[in-house]
A and B are shown apart, each in its own frame.
Chain A
Amino acid sequence: MTILRPTFLRLRAMSLRILPGHAWGKVRALGPTAQGLGLVLAVLAVVGPVLPVAIFVLLILFMIYATWAYSINLITGMTGYVSFGHVVFVGTGGYALGYGVKVWNIAPFAGVALGGVLGAVLALVIGVVTLRLRGAYFAIATLVTPLAAFYIVSGTPALGDGSGLPMNLGFQIGSQYYTIWALLAAEVALTWWVTRGRLGLGIRALREDEDAARAVGISVSRVKLILYILSGGFAGAAGAVFAWYVSGVFPDSFNLLFSLTMLAMIIIGGMGTVLGPMLGAVIVLIPHQILIRILPQGEPIAIGVSVILIALFLPGGIVGTIRQYVPDARRYFE
């Protein structure tokens, strides 16, 4: 550690020169988690273009999944409402981009924006009805929405019915990369922001005991609905980027596997935390790239076993568990 210190000081001195003093103070006040995540995002933004194409393409997928993980974290992690059907926003965003690009000839960026808006609107519609339900009832009510959406798009000629909407936008990985980077950065910042201050307090109270939170004057239903709308918006926008990434959108975009993967990511990383979804995305996707070449069948089983063990024995996931057992580390793991 002592060897590192001079380097660290020199680095800090360098950054002090780049940033004015008061701004540096603000960065410091963010705390290690926000600094660390900020650093990761900054590095991603800077090194992206010099990376080999295959890794660049992989990073797009990673950021799409991380955006989804943060999205489901906003509702399921923050409030404990398990959004099993979260993929409905992914598919909706994808179809928004596919339809916009194919029928209205809009730019993919506009398609991503449209996907975000439609995701948010759909979340509003679903949320108004279902957020009054608790526990498994909410999980089931949301579970049926992607199933229904799958059948609806399969039977809608304007959406290509079973053939979906394949599209040829070329190999636009640069635009995809920075679009999803911006979405992820915005979502991480939002997640960090909603966990502190009054709103954060309200959310924590809601998760611990919804009735008690309501009794002390927190407008529980509004908080839940806002979180759900934000969550749906980000999932929809990232779903649109995903459709762009795989050059098409098909009924299978409503495959429940996506819901399950994002859920597994936040369970493993730590639900309702700022760092958890990012850790979960890394932990699920890095082994994926290796397992797919050596043991493709073992991968879902490994994820399943991890989810079981973590749910039963370490319900806080990685971040929650470290915070629980190593109080000193709480500063670094939020």
Chain B
Amino acid sequence: MSEREVMEYDVTIVGAGPAGLSCALRLKQLNSELNVCVIEKAAEVGAHILSGAVIETGPLDDLLPDWRDNPPPICVAAQRDEFLLLSKTGARRLPTPPQQNNHGNVIVSLGALCGWLAPQAESLGVDIFPGYAASAIAWKQDGSVSGVVIGDMGVDKSGQPKDTYVEGIEIHAPVTVLAEGCRGHLSKQLIKHFSLDKDCDPQTYGIGMKELWRLPEGRVQPGLIQHTIGWPLDPRTYGGSFVYHLDDNRLALGFVVALDYADPAFSPFEALQQFKHHPRMRALLEGGEIISSGARALVEGGYQSLPNTQMPGALLIGDAAGLLNVPKIKGTHQAMRSGMLAAEHLHQQHQSDGLRSDGFDQALRGSAIVSELKRVRNIRPGFHKGLWFGLANAVWETATAGFSPWTMRQHADHTALQQNLSVQRDWVERELPPKDRLASVYFAATEHDEDQPVHLQILEPDVCLTRCAEEYDHPCTRFCPASVYEMVEDEQGKRLQINAANCVHCKTCDIKDPYQIINWVTPEGGAGPNYQNL
């Protein structure tokens, strides 16, 4: 292969989410001379972003003091919090956990917020490249990161160049900032390569699914924030719902399930759909229509699972590092703060002895970002022992502000499935759309050119038909919210069919597969979901 063309920047940021864009904006605010670029695999900034999202406004006040004069497209002030414990037909009001008090916060579409941040970064001179996937790390001879390799475009199914073939370039920079979000595929490689997680617990995850609805006139109460726990989940499975009332008759609803669930037969997608059929929800939704839907994994490991966030030539920020605060159910403020902190750190370095990644991890751990995580570190792992212990433990940890002398451990999600587990599910007949996962993918507007290499690599295909068939009966066909994995039987016998074109880039398969043989890599730039206001 020929030498790839190279572009040089001072700082390259991978991922135009809240962390990456905050980092880019802050860098240019501090020093307009720095050349900064942001690489984004979605066709447009925000199209792969999915979040609740109720956000704290402090970081926005810091980053863009006048933001309230020109607010993001969806921005509804929080009015009232409700925290409910559901049974199949009933609902009991619980006191709202103090971490979830949303007074002063705003409900936004994080996708729309990123789409609103991007032009502000561009006006300061940041080069943002949506539609280009950073597919590999570029290395220096001394073993440090020199930048990223942009994926080739126009490659066919078998890996051969098509007429439209364009070789991806390399983007080099003294420091590359990984802001890929949860389970970033480059971050994953780097964490392994540099053993960044050798002194921490394994990262743990959840899968979040979200739908944006438009309801008949008069049902939405703008600013109302509801969270539920309990039904349709069993008490051993951690998770719950969110329902956020927006303006313009729009309602954001979703469901989050921790990926350490044990039952191989469980389907997170089905849990969301069941939740929508709780009498309270059903009455709200009937007669409405779905505007957009999607799914994305999120990090839940918190303080114990935080890896070293610096390595030679690169940094991890936001959820690529794993900064989400689970008890608060928020990560955006942490992502933005870590992006700004990285920018401030790099700016200081630049002024003294040049752009380097050194010292960032220490700065991060000394900041409010990590102390916030430390304070709540035992709340999420308390739920390993079930819902009731978890709630009691959460009360204790909250009352003692995290001063317990112990730290509970985290375990890798892919080890959590149990064989021969039979969980009775008290589930109902469904009627609300979408009727199945394919119908749901339709609302994600996901698109991949079919004639390209499959971006979900099965490292040991034999395992699917032998061990996995016997031990777990193909959980991939259930944990994927987009029906990417399908067992089919034809003349050639039984085999795993991968419908890669359905993929919404949530990364659940890469995380939950019990044998860790599914490897998510970037498809052609610009492919994937086209979320609208998620």
A-B interaction? no
